[in-house]
Structure 1
């Protein structure tokens, strides 16, 4: 089907569930798990959203999955064996938009429909902190301690991953045109796709060496 019932926005992920690989995907209507060998639908749960706008990619949290939809709210679903429970563990009215969240320990960080950043406690869905509105879109990536966030204006933010408060450590203009594609990092290189070019930056630490998984203190790059 085309139009509003056409292809989904969310990207699928490969997850080990009950010792077996599954392809976990969020369609316009459901969060589903598919058998890796044959594509058989193993489980599914309805995710409410305005006109099927389930856009972000759900994230794994232990034996649970977190998702949030435009017009629907935020949900945490627990696994039971190789399937997901039909009743959510918790939900609230907080609505994400296009940006996929990142998980650090027991908290999830994401950009919302109202253009705010938020930190949610994944154990109970309570808000740890929320920011003032800024940015129509954020691409988020983490090394497990800090978060890199790229907004659509081409500004890259380095954020301390703490539930205490939003702590922006530094920011840098990395593109003169809008940046709506997701950040990509590989072997100390960061790739940014703007409207008119592909930009590569080298991530450097304080000792001026490029190391995978080390918090960034400076950038050097070329278009």
Structure 2
């Protein structure tokens, strides 16, 4: 189990033994962000990739050794996005920052990163994107909340929805279906279409704000609002 513990200006990305809770390693080079760590095999090495308070870093999953670092700061120190993996490409963004795709490379025994594409029109703030096939779906905070699709290979914008959709949304996918849970408790079920925004059904799934990511298990969805946890089935 790997978590970034601590608070502003202090903390450590720490690996714990899931059975005993014993600490296995820690990297304390920066304070935590609001996103979650992700694991990926890149350039032949298992890595933990995570936003920190002022950086995006990759550390060895085995030892916690820092492999590479990209400075990344946002207004009010709000790195909130969890990195997205598309093949061997990492996709990231932040408050008023372009969506950026890059590769992690090892050359002459030195770790480096190299940009693949950028899209400055649709930055991500608190909504994590999801990749389905070769398409990245997300919601930008621009235009008071706007869903979008981007070609994950090139960064080209494929479509945008009407504006004023939500302040925040949690997006998950199951097969070729997107579940977009807005912060006002409206759940949009939409096709994972690369050609247009195609909502199929809309439901109200809670009586208060829904900020947490919904969880899908088979034909069940768990939804957390400010007061309760609910189970929905279909």
State the TM-score, normalizing by the size of structure 1.
0.83
SS of 2:76's equivalent in the other structure is: helix
Query: Equivalent residue for 1:22?
Result: 47
Query: Equivalent residue for 1:192?
Result: 223
SS of 1:51's equivalent in the other structure is: coil
Query: Equivalent residue for 1:214?
Result: none
Query: Equivalent residue for 1:35?
Result: 60
| Distance change in 2, residues 1:84/1:113 (3 Å) | farther
| Distance change in 2, residues 1:86/1:52 (3 Å) | farther
- Is the aligned partner of 1:92 residue 2:119? yes
Query: Equivalent residue for 2:80?
Result: 55
CA contact (8 A) 1:78 1:84 kept: no
Query: Equivalent residue for 1:116?
Result: 146
Query: Higher strand proportion, which one?
Result: 2
Of the candidates 162, 183, 190, which is equivalent to residue 159 of structure 1?
190
Query: Equivalent residue for 1:220?
Result: none
**In the comparison of the two structures, how many residue pairs are matched?**
203
Of the candidates 168, 172, 176, which is equivalent to residue 203 of structure 2?
172
Deviation track 1:185-215 (CA, whole Å, cap 9, x = no partner) reads 224321111011111112x2xxxxxxxxxxx
Shift of 1:48: 4.3
Query: Equivalent residue for 2:23?
Result: none
Structure 2, unaligned runs of 5 or more: 1-6, 10-29
The CA distance in 2 between the partners of 1:162 and 1:187, in whole Å, is: 22
Shift of 1:70: 0.3
Deviation track 1:127-184 (CA, whole Å, cap 9, x = no partner) reads 1001112111111111231111100111111110111000001111111111011111
Query: Equivalent residue for 2:18?
Result: none
The CA distance in 1 between the partners of 2:111 and 2:195, in whole Å, is: 31
SS of 1:172's equivalent in the other structure is: strand
| Distance change in 2, residues 1:2/1:46 (3 Å) | closer
The CA distance in 2 between the partners of 1:161 and 1:12, in whole Å, is: 25
State the TM-score, normalizing by the size of structure 2.
0.80
